[in-house]
């Protein structure tokens, strides 16, 4: 008796084959659609049953499957099974690349050679680890079970949720720790990890101490484990005493596995570098280009010039010609790609390029000839770009100015040593560009940054907020315009571009934000299509109100993270359809790739982008996105640790603070003024049953009726500071009866911190 045709999963039915009808193989399109619509793996058995085939058709089906495999329409998924190439398997190895605004780990698939599908890499939001397990850190690999989360709107992006099945990097390749020798001579010492997530100590066998002294920060390598007791490790490098604040950066650098040593070949290539000849370059040495950077900057990779042009302006942005020195495939190039970017710490810089280039031949020092790639742009009176032209030139900066010098001179009506009118023209052009940005409608979150100031002995002298001056914004607007021109030029030339992309808020984040704002009587436009100006309108509407800090914080947390990709999805935050990084090739590998693409497309030399580089753009974009996030985490970790050192002698002091995070296990608070952050454990709150509400960002007590919410101003007492890990623990004072023995002299209020303002 003939079998009845079986239906596709998801409600689509296989070809209806009537009894006695000739059984035909499915077409390539039918088979591709069938496999695409299955939620998991598909084998030949499922195909035979769905299309009512018989055993005589096995060879033809096998050939058809091979053809689809060669086309990329399906990929192998185990023994004689296949899956949709646009869907990830039910379980696979993933690598953590960073965290989302809520602190949850974000991962990307790890593909074997030749396995990578087309299109942007899938985003995987990892579920929190089980209680007692350390959180996933960037760079870790795990075997994860994946669940597809469809988009809530037709055609929207699909995401995946991952749950750890097995950690593949539980034992790190290196351990950064503090060494504690055993008081009894001849017995093994101990290592106390500097990573606050690490739960256990390590043991250092006798003879493996490398001369380390008590309290020294060391780098250790795990030794073979006999399976019982503490894990053994051998000290391989001594980083410095724990009391020396300059050792803090080394902890963060080594914990994040940031490369610090250049290959001998890269150093040799940098040392033989020399002046850039004029040759076929355009001579810009008579153009009054200037650099404007921070006071402590040592690498100057951008210079600017502006002059009136009818009712608008003619602008030139000149960028150091790093591509002239760092050739594709060279030792310098390999090291630069591995690092991805420079990393900046309070006491040092880990540069992407050796100092002979980053602070030497690639730095646009005043009164010295330097090679450059430049873009000449014309804007109208409203700041709209009406034309641009790229070239390769030789320039000579006429001045190296700081942001503070420029701002002070402008405010006082001075010239900062420039030709009369030069500074006024720069600011006039800036105001035009700023007007265009406002008209475009960007999301302009300007969160205060902290600057750690060290004294000559490496001790923390002060932690201050970084000022936000119009001179900073002037350079930012010039650089944004140059980056837009670079992306547009590469599209015009049909050249690959390493775009800087920023996706709109995910459907889930947007829905949560809409619900949160609705509870405050604030509405967003309906639907899932939202423009940055809609969010900016919300932020401007609450300026100066008590709700402003809370709403700024929630809007920030709703945003996606920016990334590098050859697939352009636009830049949501800047409200730009195409955007690429062009202006900082000394410190960002992405910019160097954009330079090379321009050189190839405009035929400006033989050192342009190669075919091999272009074909690897997807992998490179994922890699440098990861290195950028690694650097950001390490830099933030360094500031947190310096602050822990700074706060270590302030136990018992009361501070004004703001709640910066609300979780089921406690609150995170940030001290006003210096920005020190720490945790308020739930166990330290008044005795009550505490309920966590993610939608309203609150922690509320059932009996006391106390409610703690995100961005709420509170008073906290510092109860614990651990410089080794950078951890701070506070006790919140709301709802707590003051102790009769409390010393009023210990109360110390810091000035309120800068409120987040719009850029």
Pairing status of strand 75-76 against strand 666-671: unpaired
Identify the pLDDT of residue 748.
35
pTM above 0.85, yes or no: no
Residues of the chain with pLDDT under 50: 1-22, 113-120, 154-156, 738-759
Q: Which CATH number fits domain 648-758: 3.90.480.20, 2.170.8.10, 2.60.120.560, 2.40.50.140?
A: 2.40.50.140
Identify the pLDDT of residue 747.
37
Identify the pLDDT of residue 65.
74
Pairing status of strand 81-83 against strand 75-76: antiparallel
Termini Cα distance of the chain: 74
What tokens does 263 get? 């290959």
Domain 175-242, CATH 2.40.50.700 — does that match?
yes
Q: How many CA atoms lie within 13 A of 544 on its CB side?
A: 2
Identify the pLDDT of residue 75.
55
Per CATH, the number for 1-87 is 1.10.10
Q: Which CATH number fits domain 91-167: 2.40.50, 1.10.3470, 1.10.600, 2.10.25?
A: 2.40.50
How many other CB atoms are found less than 10 A from the CB of residue 609?
A: 24
| CA quadruple 358, 364, 365, 371: dihedral sign | positive
Identify the pLDDT of residue 173.
64
Angle of helix 247-255 relative to helix 617-647, nearest 10 degrees?
A: 150
Please list, residue by residue across 511-535, b when 16 or more beta carbons sit within 10 angstroms of its beta carbon and e when fewer do.
ebbbebbeeeeeebeeebebbbbeb
Assess contact for 147 and 159: CB atoms under 8 A.
no
pLDDT, averaged across the chain: 83
So where are the chain's domains?
1-87, 91-167, 175-242, 265-502+564-637, 507-559, 648-758
Assess contact for 491 and 578: CB atoms under 8 A.
yes
* C-alpha dist (Å) from residue 425 to 294, 468, 738: 21, 21, 59
* Block residue for tokens 């409203």: 382
Identify the pLDDT of residue 38.
65
Q: How far is the C-alpha of 389 from the C-alpha of 385, rounded, in Å?
A: 11
Q: How far is the C-alpha of 488 from the C-alpha of 274, rounded, in Å?
A: 32
The strand pairing partners of 140, in sequence order, are none
Residue 100 backbone dihedrals phi, psi, to 5 degrees: -90, 175
Identify the pLDDT of residue 745.
36
Identical fold between 175-242 and 648-758: yes
Q: How far is the C-alpha of 257 from the C-alpha of 439, rounded, in Å?
A: 43
Q: How far is the C-alpha of 178 from the C-alpha of 192, rounded, in Å?
A: 5
DSSP 673-690: TT--EEEEEGGGS-SS-E
Q: Return the H-helix or E-strand segment holding 593.
A: helix 589-602
Identify the pLDDT of residue 759.
28
């Amino acid at each position: 008796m003939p079998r009845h045709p079986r239906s596709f999963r998801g409600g689509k039915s296989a070809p209806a084959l009537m009894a006695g009808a000739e059984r035909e193989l499915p077409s390539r399109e039918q088979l591709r659609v069938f496999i695409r619509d299955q939620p998991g793996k598909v084998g030949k058995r499922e195909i035979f049953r769905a299309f009512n085939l018989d055993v005589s058709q096995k060879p033809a089906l096998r050939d058809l499957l091979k053809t689809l495999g060669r086309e990329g329409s399906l990929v192998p998924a185990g023994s004689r099974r296949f899956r949709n190439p646009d869907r990830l398997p039910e379980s696979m190895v993933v690598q953590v690349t960073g965290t989302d605004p809520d602190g949850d780990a974000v991962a990307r698939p790890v593909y074997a050679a030749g396995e990578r599908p087309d299109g942007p890499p899938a985003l995987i939001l990892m579920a929190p680890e089980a209680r007692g397990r350390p959180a996933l850190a960037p760079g870790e690999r795990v075997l994860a079970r994946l669940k597809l989360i469809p988009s809530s709107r037709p055609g929207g992006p699909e995401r995946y949720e991952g749950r750890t099945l097995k950690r593949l990097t539980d034992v790190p390749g290196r351990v950064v720790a503090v060494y504690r020798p055993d008081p009894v001579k001849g017995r093994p010492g101990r290592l106390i990890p500097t990573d606050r997530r690490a739960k256990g100590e390590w043991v250092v066998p006798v003879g493996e101490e490398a001369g380390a002294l008590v309290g020294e920060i060391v780098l250790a390598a795990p030794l073979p484990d006999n399976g019982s007791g503490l894990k053994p490790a051998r000290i391989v490098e001594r980083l410095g005493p724990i009391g020396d604040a300059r050792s803090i950066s080394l902890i963060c650098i080594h914990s994040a596995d940031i490369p610090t040593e250049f290959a001998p070949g890269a150093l040799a290539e940098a040392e033989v570098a020399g002046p850039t000849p004029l040759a076929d370059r355009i001579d810009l040495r008579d153009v009054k280009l200037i650099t404007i950077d921070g006071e402590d900057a040592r690498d100057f990779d951008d210079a600017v010039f502006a002059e009136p042009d009818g009712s608008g302006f003619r602008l030139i942005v000149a960028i150091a010609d790093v591509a002239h020195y760092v050739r594709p495939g060279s030792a310098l190039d390999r090291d630069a790609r591995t690092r991805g970017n420079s990393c900046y710490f309070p006491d040092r810089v880990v540069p992407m390029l050796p100092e002979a280039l980053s602070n030497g031949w690639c730095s646009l020092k005043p009164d010295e000839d330097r090679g450059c790639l430049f873009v000449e742009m014309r804007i109208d009176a409203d700041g709209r770009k009406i034309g641009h032209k790229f070239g390769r030139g030789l320039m000579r900066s006429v001045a190296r100015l700081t942001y503070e010098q420029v701002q002070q001179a402008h405010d006082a009506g001075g010239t900062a040593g420039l030709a009369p009118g030069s500074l006024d023209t720069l600011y006039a052009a800036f105001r035009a560009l700023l007007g265009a940005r406002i008209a475009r409608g960007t999301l302009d979150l300007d969160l205060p940054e902290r600057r750690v100031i060290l004294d000559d002995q490496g001790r923390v002298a002060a932690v201050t907020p970084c000022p936000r001056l119009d001179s900073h914004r002037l350079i930012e607007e010039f650089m944004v315009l140059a980056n837009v021109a670079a992306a547009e030029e590469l599209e015009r030339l049909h050249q690959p571009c390493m775009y800087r992309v920023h996706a709109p808020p995910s459907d889930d984040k947007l829905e949560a934000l809409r619900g949160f704002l609705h509870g405050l009587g604030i509405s967003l436009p309906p639907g899932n299509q939202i423009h940055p100006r809609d969010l900016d309108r919300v932020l401007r509407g609450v300026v100066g109100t008590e709700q402003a800090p809370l709403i700024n914080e929630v809007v920030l947390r709703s945003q996606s993270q920016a990334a590098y990709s050859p697939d352009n999805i636009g830049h949501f935050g800047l409200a730009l359809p195409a955007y690429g990084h062009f202006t900082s090739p000394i410190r960002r590998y992405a910019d160097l790739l954009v330079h090379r693409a321009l050189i190839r497309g405009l035929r400006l030399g033989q050192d342009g982008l190669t075919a091999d580089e272009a074909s690897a753009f997807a992998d490179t974009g994922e890699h440098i996105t990861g290195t950028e996030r690694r650097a950001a985490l390490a830099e933030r970790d360094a500031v947190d640790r310096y602050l822990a050192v700074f706060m270590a002698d302030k136990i018992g002091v009361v501070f004004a603070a703001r709640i910066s995070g609300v979780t089921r296990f406690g609150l995170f608070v940030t001290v006003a003024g210096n920005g020190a952050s720490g945790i308020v454990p739930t166990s330290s709150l008044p005795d009550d049953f505490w309920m966590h509400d993610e939608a309203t960002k609150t922690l509320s007590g059932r009996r006391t009726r106390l409610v703690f919410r995100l961005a709420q101003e509170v008073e906290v007492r510092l109860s614990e500071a651990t410089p080794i890990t950078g951890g701070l623990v506070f006790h919140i004072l709301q709802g707590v009866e003051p102790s009769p023995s409390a010393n009023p002299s210990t109360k110390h209020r810091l000035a309120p911190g800068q409120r987040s303002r719009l850029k």
